[in-house]
Chains A and B, each alone.
Chain A
């Protein structure tokens, strides 16, 4: 620290910034997951289902759910003063897909949150990241009362490539969410390493 060099304050450090996306179907736990690990409270720009005028939303399996996210969840994880990871939780409804293209650009990786009671809700997100070559991990949010399926069954249902990590998680639990994020970055690291050092044979 170079105090006393001049009357000016030291120049602030401009951090390296990276982002991870958290995607998944309606009510799967995206907001909960971002809130479990990040410094900033999620940006809660939400509206009630009735205001949105979408009576067709299937909320089965999401007890007491009355609001839906309009904007996005946003969290900051300060890893070091000069290294910051941002989380963006993207709305699960199809009408918000237009938000994704900007978010996906330059993303380090993504988490696709899945609920075994509504696995089909994850298809769109899996498809999206596959097509764009964004490293992603599927995290099954284990709600109470939902049947547990072997990972292989979920993997088959989602038709995942063998290299895509699949794990069980509890979106409310900080340690569990940390493991999910580590898995995404490890997956991104493996990809980057392969790309930079092609096998010599």
Chain B
């Protein structure tokens, strides 16, 4: 990963457009070793062990940046991709690396049909009205 982050060109979302750039940042890997595909709204939460990820020489600046961004406010995969201006696929791979290194864990979103009770939806409605 040490050669990552030098490509300052604009990245198009490889999943959306006809232009698929080589995934240099992930050394060509297009799917992470984390078995399930990380959901767009799955949330990345740093582990206490990730207190100072910058000292880990095996991590790219993008890995470190992801941990830093999630430190105070855990962020979703989609949010990280938007914030870092990286394709979702690349962020999935990078987060997969961090999970493997036990620097973060990822909470899987609860499908609406499996929400423990519907009161959460009432809270969403109230929250929207109060915006």
Binding site for B on A (CB under 8 A): 8-9, 11-19, 37, 40, 43, 45, 47, 70-72, 74, 76-77, 79-80, 83-86, 88, 91, 96, 99, 102-103, 105-108, 174, 178, 181-182, 185-186, 188-189, 192-193, 195-196
Contacts and interface: CB of A to CB of B under 8 A. Distances in A.
A14 B51 CA distance: 17
Nearest to B37: A102
Contacts, number: 125
A99 B128 CA distance: 26
Interface string B86-128: 0000000000000000000001011111010010111111011
Interface stretch (B11-19, B22-30, B54-62): B11-19
A43 B82 contact: yes
Contacts of A79: 123-124, 127-128
A181 B124 CA distance: 10
Interface centre among B12, B17, B39, B41, by most A CB within 10 Å? B41
B43 interface: yes
B26 to A, nearest CB: 18
B118 A19 contact: no
Contacts of B121: 108, 185, 188-189, 192
